[in-house]
Amino acid sequence: MQSSVDNEPNNKPPSKWRVGRLLAASVSLLLIGMIAACSLGPPKIIIDDPSIERHITTVSDSGIKLGYLQSGQPGSTRVIFVHGTPGDASNWYTWLKNVPRDREYFAVDRPGFGTTEPRGAYTALDTQAAALLPLLKAEHSGPTLLVGHSLGGPIIAAAAAKYPELIDGIIIAAGALDPGQEDVWFLQHLGNTWLLSWMLPNELDHANKELIGLEDELDILAPKLAGIQMPITIVHGTNDELVPYANVAYMQEHFKAAAPLSLMKVEGGDHFLPWNGIEIINHAIDQMIVELDQEPATPK
């Protein structure tokens, strides 16, 4: 006969470790959902088109091995696409499959994402900009344009400020440049603690660290914007809920020396312009190339 003690239900509370694990798992799931809401559209795409080549090159000063995709006519007018956070080069797959004649398109895996190594988080905008140097320095004919989406926007602005002699114009699509528009949630800080950070997938952990540090990085970038003297085109949707349209006014105020500064306002447009705003971004690229073609060519 069993004792009455054996038949009693186990009313002991779960151990602190078990509670901690449950809390960590719950917060991690919330963080994954929250950061994934900022992701840049469709899931990753397997690159199986033979016209699109994958390369890795070393950025000598930092030791970063930059992974990127390339298609189009080598040595011609160069357009470099920079994704937001999280994301990778495959975000621009449709663009790489449809390169206009006499152009060469590149899409990079930013440091911290895709095939680029090391796989740590790189939150400094200047570090992200410096990773583009191998592509900026390569010899070619025609201008070099940068197209940056979301967090890619401030990265290409940082590149334009840092390497004006290597870049002819930038196109900022749904760019997050206004530090006053950056709000970091408590859960993001919680997710940046060692345990929860360890539990997150690498790309979401890196994205979280980038978003936490973005306001400070934008404050550092702000005084440099007035010195950018190349053509700048802003493309932004009025219904962008992830990077508010209010960023446009900030850019118009700070890009004082841009020559010229153009705005393509996408009425009713959302944040996902690389997928549903292809026509208008293509128009921005075409227009900028036409304008640059009217200027004396500068060897790269």
Per DSSP, the residues of 63-108 read: TEEEEEEEEE-TTSEEEEEE--SS--GGGGHHHHHSPPTTEEEEEE
Listed as ranges, residues in the chain with pLDDT below 70 are 1-48, 60, 296-300
Q: For residue 20, what pLDDT is reported?
A: 42
Q: Is-contact 119 202, C-beta < 8 A?
A: yes
Q: Is 108 exposed, middle or buried (0-12, 13-18, 19+ CB in 10 A)?
A: buried
Q: For residue 2, what pLDDT is reported?
A: 40
Q: Is-contact 231 292, C-beta < 8 A?
A: yes
Q: Is-contact 110 83, C-beta < 8 A?
A: yes
Q: For residue 273, what pLDDT is reported?
A: 96
Q: Which of the following CATH numbers is that of domain 49-182+223-293: 1.10.10.10, 3.40.50.10540, 3.30.559.10, 3.40.50.1820?
A: 3.40.50.1820
Q: What's the CA gap between 299 and 142, in Å, rounded?
A: 8
Q: For residue 30, what pLDDT is reported?
A: 55
Q: What's the CA gap between 131 and 125, in Å, rounded?
A: 10
Proportion of the chain in helix, strand, coil states, percent, rounded to 5: 40, 20, 40
List phi, psi (to 5°) of 111: -50, 130
Q: Which amino acid is at 225?
A: L
Delimit the domains of the chain by residue range: 49-182+223-293
Would you call the peptide bond into 260 cis, given omega within 30 degrees of 0 as the criterion? yes
The token duo for 107 is 């899409």
Q: What's the CA gap between 36 and 33, in Å, rounded?
A: 5
Q: Give this prediction's pTM.
A: 0.84
The token duo for 191 is 């997710």
Q: Is-contact 93 109, C-beta < 8 A?
A: no
Would you call the peptide bond into 154 cis, given omega within 30 degrees of 0 as the criterion? no
Distances (CA, A) of 189 to 27, 142, 183, 207: 11, 45, 12, 12
Bridge partners for 103 per DSSP: 77
Q: Is the dihedral of CA 291, 292, 293, 296 positive or negative?
A: positive
Q: For residue 3, what pLDDT is reported?
A: 40
Quote the radius of gyration of the chain (alpha carbons, Å): 22
Would you state the torsion angle of the CA atoms of residues 21, 26, 27, 28, taken in this order, to the nearest 10 degrees? 80
Bridge partners for 171 per DSSP: 147, 233
Q: What's the CA gap between 95 and 103, in Å, rounded?
A: 12
List phi, psi (to 5°) of 65: -100, 105
